[in-house]
Amino acid sequence: MRTLTIVFLSLLLSTAVFGQSNKAVKLDGVDNYLPIGMGMLIDKWTVEAWIKGDGNKWNDREAIIAGGYYAKQNTSDELALVIKNGRLHNNGAKISSPTILPTDKWVHVAAMSDGKNTSLYINGDKVATRDTSITIIPGAIGANDVKESLFGGMIDEVRIWKTALSTAELKDWMNQSITPAHPKFSQLHGHYTFDDFSSDMSINRVAKGHLPYHVRNDRIDYYGERPLASLVENDNTNFTTYTGDQALFTATVIASEWDSDLGARDEQILKLRIIVDGESNPLSVDKITLDLSKCSDLKDISKLNLYYTGTVPRSQVKEALCKPITKIKKKLTIKLKKNIKLNPGVNYLLLAADIAPTAKSGNRIKVTVPTLSLSKNKITPIPDESSLDKFISMNSKADKNILKVIQWNIWHGGVHVGGKTGRLRIIDLIKSSNADVVMMQEAYGAQEQIADSLNFEMTSTSSDDNLALYSRYPLEKIATKNPFYSNPAYITLPSNKKILFDNIWIRYAYRPAYTDEYCSLGYDTDVWCKEDSILGLKDVQRNLSEDVNPYHKQGMDIIFGGDFNSGSHLDWTKRAAHLHNGYVVEKLPISRYMYEQGYIDTYRALKPDEVLHPGGTYAPIFGHKQTSRIDYIYYKGDGIRPIFSKIIRTAYDIDDVWAGDHAAVLTTFTVKE
C-alpha cells in the first residue's frame, strides 16, 4: 500500500485550482489502436472514459475498452465497453443504452459490475442494467483485434478499476483529475490521461511491478504505413484538470530483472517513477534512503550512481544527482547535491551500479527504497511487487569459455511498438544481454537491421523470412529443405570448437491453440496431445533427422532451440495445475521426444521447480497469460554445460514497454575447449 503524508494530502485538497490544460488521444477509426494487455477482472470492476466521435455516423461496432489480442476466452468477455449500432453496449451482459450517442460531443461513458449486476452509465447516469456478473479482459483501447471494431475520434481519461464504484463516486470524479483523495484510489488498476502520449507509448499512471500495462501505439495492419494515433488538444469543457500547487500522485519503485555481468558499469538497478500533478510551486527531491541488506555480498558493488532521467523510460537525459557512492553499506541515505524540480506528470530517477570485477557469479543484487523526501516531506514509495530477481552473471568478454545464447520470437518483425521503432528496443535488448548467439523467429524484414546494428554474422533464407540466426563468431550455413521451420548452422568459437545450432519454429495445435486458450474451460487435453503429435512432433522429428543428425560429427555439441509452440511435460504437472487453469497434461509429446533423444531443456534443468519458476514465455505482456512456456533452448553433448538460464520479459530500460509478445530465453553455457 502507498503511504502519503497528511501534509501532502492536505496540500492537494486545500490548494486545488482547476483549468483547461488537457490532452487527448486521437484515433483514425481506420487502423490505429492502443493495446495495453491488461488481464482478467472478475466480478467487481469499473471501466470508464471520455469519448468524442469523429462526427461521422457510428459504425456497427466501435470498441472503447475491449480485449485486444488473445482475449477470446470462454471464461470472459472481450467487449466490456463498446458502441454497438450507435448505442453504448456491454457484450457479456447483453445490455445497451436506449439512446444513440452523439458523434460530435464529449460524452462520459462507463460500464460497471458490482458482483451481482452489470450496468452502463452515460454522463454519470445509469442507462442500462442486468442482474448478471461477468469477467472482462480490458486489454486494449480503441479496438478489439479486428478492423471492424476500430473507434474513430478522441478518447481521454481512461480509468480501469478492480472494484465497482458507487454511482456517487463515478459522478463526483468523472469531471476532474483523479487524486489519492479518491475513496477507491487503491483499487485503480489502469489510469491513462494521455498527456504524455508519444509515437511509442503512454504510461499507466498506477503501474506496479513487471506488468505495467502501459499503452503501446500500434496498428491493426501492423505492417502498414498509415499514421499512428496522435496527441491532440482536448476541447472538453466538462472536464477540469488539476493545475494548482504541485502534489504527489504516486511514487513507485520498479526493479530490474536483468542480470549484471562481472565488471559491468552503470548497470540499471531500479527506477523511481514519481508522478506529480499541478503546475505551481514544483516539488523537489531532497533525499532518498536505500536498503541493500538483501544483497548477497556488498563487495559485489563497487559504486552506485543516482540520476534524473527525464519523463520517459527510454531517455537520453541522464543528470547526476549526487557524487558517486563508493562506500557501500546495508543502509544508505543519499542527500542530493542539487534539488531537481519535478515536471508535471511523470519523472524518473535511476539507481545504477558498477559491478566489481571480483564479484561472485550467482550472487543476488537486491536494493529497496524505504523512504523518499519531496520538498522536505517524507513519503514511503510503493515497493516493487514483482518476484523477479537480479543476479551477477558472466559473459564471453571476460571469459572465452562462456557462451551466451538468446532465443526470442520478436512478433511480426518487431513492429508492434510505434511501428518499426520497436526494432530499436529489440536491438538494445540483445546488446544489453551481451549474447553471443541469437536464435530468432518472426524476424520478417528486421534481419539486416539487427545484424548490422549488432555487427554479427547472420543466416536467414531471405531478408523477410521467419527464422534468423545471429552470431558474433564465424557462422557456416547448412542448407535445408524446410527454411520456414529450420535454420541450421555451424558456429566456430574462438577456441576453434564448433557447435551445431538449429534455430527452429514448429506448428502448434490449432483446435484449440492450447498454449493460448488454456484460459478457457472444457477442453479435452488428449486432443492437444494428439494434434501436437500430428503437427509439431513431426516438425521436430524432421528437423532433427534432416538438418541436425546428418551434420552432427562425433563429439560435437548441439544447441537446438526455438519457438516450439507447445508446452513441456515438465510444466503441465499436477503440482502446477493451478497455473494452467486446472489442466494437467503430462503426456505432452514434443518435450518428451526431445528428452528421449538425449536433449536437455536448459531452463528447467537449472530451475526444476515448475511451480516456483513457471517461466511463461508466451504472451507475457498480457496479464491473463503468464505461465505458458513454449520457447526453449535445448542442448546435447558433454562439451557444454548450462550455468544460468532466465526468462526475460522486461526491457533493459526499466519501465519501458516490451517489444514482442514472447519473452526471451537467455541461457549461459560454460564451454570445454
The maximal CA–CA distance of the chain, rounded, in angstroms, is 79
In the DSSP assignment, the letter for residue 148 is: G
- State the pLDDT at residue 19: 37
Q: How far apart are CA 665 and CA 632, in angstroms?
A: 7
Q: How far apart are CA 15 and CA 280, in angstroms?
A: 10
In the DSSP assignment, the letter for residue 57 is: P
Cβ within 8 Å of residue 159, ≥6 positions away? 46, 47, 48, 49, 178, 188, 190, 191, 192
- State the pLDDT at residue 629: 96
Cβ within 8 Å of residue 56, ≥6 positions away? 29, 103, 152
Burial of 419 (0-12, 13-18, 19+ CB in 10 A): buried
Strands 377-379 and 372-374: antiparallel
Q: How far apart are CA 89 and CA 100, in angstroms?
A: 11
Q: Are 647 and 627 in contact (CB under 8 A)?
A: no
Mean pLDDT by 10 residues, the chain (673 residues): 36 37 92 95 97 97 95 93 98 97 98 98 98 96 94 98 98 97 98 95 95 95 94 95 95 95 96 96 95 97 97 94 96 87 96 96 96 95 86 92 98 93 95 97 96 97 93 97 97 97 95 88 95 97 98 95 98 97 97 98 98 94 92 98 96 96 97 89
Inter-axis angle of helices 422-433 and 447-454, nearest 10: 40
Cβ within 8 Å of residue 463, ≥6 positions away? 445, 447, 448
- State the pLDDT at residue 384: 92
Alpha-carbon torsion angle 561, 562, 566, 570, nearest 10 = 30
Q: Are 120 and 126 in contact (CB under 8 A)?
A: yes
Burial of 376 (0-12, 13-18, 19+ CB in 10 A): exposed
User: How is residue 350 written as a grid cell?
Assistant: 535511476
CA nearest to 472, candidates 552, 555, 404, 401: 404
Phi, psi angle pair for 32, to nearest 5°: -85, 150
- State the pLDDT at residue 516: 85
Q: How far apart are CA 526 and CA 515, in angstroms?
A: 14
Q: Are 434 and 261 in contact (CB under 8 A)?
A: yes
Cβ within 8 Å of residue 265, ≥6 positions away? 354, 355
Burial of 326 (0-12, 13-18, 19+ CB in 10 A): exposed
Residue type, 615: G
Alpha-carbon torsion angle 600, 606, 611, 613, nearest 10 = -110
534 Rama sector, left if φ>0, alpha if ψ -120 to 50, beta otherwise: alpha
DSSP-based three-state secondary structure for 340: strand
Q: How far apart are CA 287 and CA 376, in angstroms?
A: 8
Q: How far apart are CA 643 and CA 361, in angstroms?
A: 10
DSSP-based three-state secondary structure for 415: coil
- State the pLDDT at residue 463: 84
Q: Are 435 and 491 in contact (CB under 8 A)?
A: no
Q: Are 285 and 307 in contact (CB under 8 A)?
A: no
Q: How far apart are CA 356 and CA 353, in angstroms?
A: 9
DSSP-based three-state secondary structure for 14: helix
- State the pLDDT at residue 13: 36
Q: How far apart are CA 647 and CA 530, in angstroms?
A: 28
* Residues present in the chain in total: 673
- Residue ranges and CATH numbers for the domains of the chain are 22-241 (2.60.120.200), 247-392 (2.60.40.1290), 394-671 (3.60.10.10)
Q: How far apart are CA 305 and CA 256, in angstroms?
A: 15
DSSP-based three-state secondary structure for 46: strand
Q: How far apart are CA 219 and CA 78, in angstroms?
A: 18
User: How is residue 523 written as a grid cell?
Assistant: 477442453
Residue type, 368: T
CA nearest to 551, candidates 597, 508, 514, 502: 502
